[in-house]
Structure 1
Amino acid sequence: MRRSGGSGRGPRKNSISRRENRAGYIFLLPWLLGFLGLTIGPMLVSLYLSFTDYDLFTPPEWVGLDNFARMFTEDPVWIKSVQITLLYVLIGTPIKLAAALAVAMLLNYRNKGSGFFRSAFYAPSLIGASVSVAIVWRAMFGTDGPVDSSLSVFGINLGGWVGNVDFIIPMMILLAVWQFGAPMIIFLAGLKEVPQELYEAAEMDGAGPVRKFRSVTLPMLSAVIFFNLLLEMIAAFQVFASAYIISNGTGGPAGMTNFYTLYLYKRGFADLQMGYASAMAWALVVVVAVITLILFKTSKSWVHYAGDNK
């Protein structure tokens, strides 16, 4: 009797499960259609266009690997845009993460008014990539702007940062660092999960603040640091809006704000070389994918997860 009842419930449960699965797929269908039509589809089309000569108005003409060969051998502006972008990523990302971690640690030890300060520090991340902020930033660091006027009080006359070849990249990095709110919130959440017993044990061993930071905080936050590093690095490679607004779309002065995505945009939509721009886009995808893979491979030696016995 028990076997008969059990076998009767089995088909019924399977039928309910199948209906639930069908309902789930129906709810997922709009997202799947959007993903295929707005993400995968355009990516495949751009992959095809990267092997063609296409100006948006005439049918694409197959040229094979000519676009990729042209990037490495015939386009010094592309090489310079790569150098500028790498400089921005390699300097701006660590400084941004260091600022985010420092502020997160300060907020972690402050209870009074912490909600207000979290919101205040997070706000720039919400509006930092907007056109209006880029316009304000350009006005602040332009000739006779507030920053230039303040420095002139101390006898430092730079003539503005926007048109200065030596200071335009530091200005762009400052704009990126100013938007440290998002990684700060993630760091703060990670700090809340660090057991206080570890700090107490370190104090009993005579560890000072620096030793506790190196031996307790950093290892316990290694997974969070890896997550933030990955996200911020990818975002830095894609910087566009601020560079476009600050340079008025020219990439100046002297091409120092000609970041990779800005140069890609100019090639595709200003020069109508969409095939070449598609090749540039896929080159960026490959580079970011390789760097991401390297980060994942090397993370095994310095990223520690809860419950890891290694």
Structure 2
Amino acid sequence: MTSTTVAPSGDGTRDSSRKRPGRGRKYNRREALAGYLFISPWIIGFLVFTAGSMIYSLVISFSKYNLATNVIRPTGTSNYEALLENPKVAKALANTLFYAVLAVPLEICFALLLAVLLNRVGRGAGFFRTVYYLPKMTPAVATASIFFLLLNGNTGAINQGLRFIGVEGPQWLVDPTWVKPSIVLMALWTVSGTMVIFLAALKNVPRDLYEVAALDGAGPVRQFFSITLPMISGALFFNVIILTIAAFQVFDQAYLLFWRDQNNPAPEASLFYAVYLFQEAFRQFNFGFAAAMAWLLFVILMILTFIQVKVGNRFVYYEGERS
């Protein structure tokens, strides 16, 4: 029989499975290289189509850009000065801010309500989740066409339903007071993406907490505010940030309902920031001014997100934190 000599380890014990120096380090490098190769298409796409486009737009925001001749003539900060002097920019920002303040809380509440209802469904939960998510898959043009018929002040189904109960509905698409609420209604139609995030968060709330609360005499309302909301505060915080960013970039709903027909004048209340940016860039071909508008919006969203993060971190519960 042959014997195997085992070298003693540093603590006095013998270890026959000791690895050669540098082997683990080499393996880690190979693993990292493989990871980078897998995500390289995204990295290339980001550098070319996102980072590159942002840098280029920043350059032309300080210039006058002629698309026909592809000539860029530097103009300094004149485009940004024009932003402060243009009344349409202020109006578009005001409309967008009003829409965001109205839409974001309603979308959060509506999505959370749907998620809570779906979380309580036992049999057929998959069917209802699919049905509620289908509006998210509907093309924006089709959704706008449906709501154009529903919101018609004279023959629309919504006003006809209101007349049935003795209420005279407003002119949704004409009255400036109801233009932005009509766009909010259209936005609520596609709230299922937010609902899915809330539903996933609700599934992760431990059932034990509800059982203990019920034993202590807490009712459903108290359980919701004392257990459910704190436990899903991370998802709530995430959705508020994402929906705020989306609200300041609202374009599809307003453009398809009011601005796609250039022969009919659209109400000024429907002039959102992204719509006006689109008009300046692709109708007036004022790309320098449009780029300056885009960077102004970027700065506004960065400031709002920073404020939301600073404020939200005080109220968000993370499972790994200790009290």
| Equivalent AA in structure 2 for residue 164 of structure 1 | D
Percent same amino acid at aligned positions?
37
Corresponding residue to 2:270 among 257, 260, 276: 257
Pair 1:119-2:127 in alignment: no
Residues 252, 258 of structure 1: 8 Å contact kept:
no
Whole-angstrom CA distance in 1 between matches of 2:168 and 2:179 = 15
Q: CA RMSD in A?
A: 2.4
SS in 2 for 1:232: helix
- Once the 2 structures are TM-superposed, how far is the Cα of residue 69 of structure 1 from its aligned partner? 1.8
Q: Say if 1:252 and 1:187 are closer, same or farther in 2 by CA, change over 3 A.
A: farther
1:137 aligns with 147
**Any conservation in 1 of the 2:111–2:198 contact (CA below 8 Å)?**
yes
TM-score computed with the length of structure 2 as normaliser: 0.87
Partner of residue 42, structure 1: 53
TM normalised by structure 1 equals: 0.91
> Structure 1 306/23 Cα, relative in aligned 2: closer, same or farther at 3 Å?
closer
Q: Please state whether the residue corresponding to 2:268 is helix, strand or coil.
A: coil
Return the match for 1:24 from 25, 35, 46.
35
Give 2:81's aligned residue: 69
Task: Please give the per-residue CA displacement for 1:76-95, whole angstroms capped at 9, x wherever unaligned.
Answer: 11111111111111111111
Aligned to 1:235: 246
Q: Which amino acid aligns with 2:143?
A: V
Which amino acid in 1 is paired with 2:237? F
Query: How many angstroms apart in 2 are the aligned matches of 1:13 and 1:170?
Result: 60
Query: What is the number of equivalent residue pairs in this alignment?
Result: 308
Change in Cα spacing, 1:49 to 1:220, as seen in structure 2 (3 Å) is: same
Look up the SS of the partner of 1:54 in the other structure: strand
Residue type of the partner of 1:135? S
Aligned 8 A contact 2:258 2:267 in 1: no
> Aligned to 2:259, what secondary structure does the other structure show?
coil
Unaligned runs of 5+ in 1: none
Superposition deviation, residue 294 in structure 1: 0.9
Quote how far apart the aligned CAs of 1:296 are: 1.0
Structure 2 gap segments, 5+ residues each? 1-5, 10-15
Task: For 1:166 and 1:121, locate their aligned partners in 2 and report how far apart those are by CA, in whole Å.
Answer: 30
Question: Residue 163 of structure 1: SS of its match in structure 2?
Answer: coil
One-letter amino acid matched to 1:286:
V
Q: 1:112 to 1:272 in 2, by over 3 A?
A: same
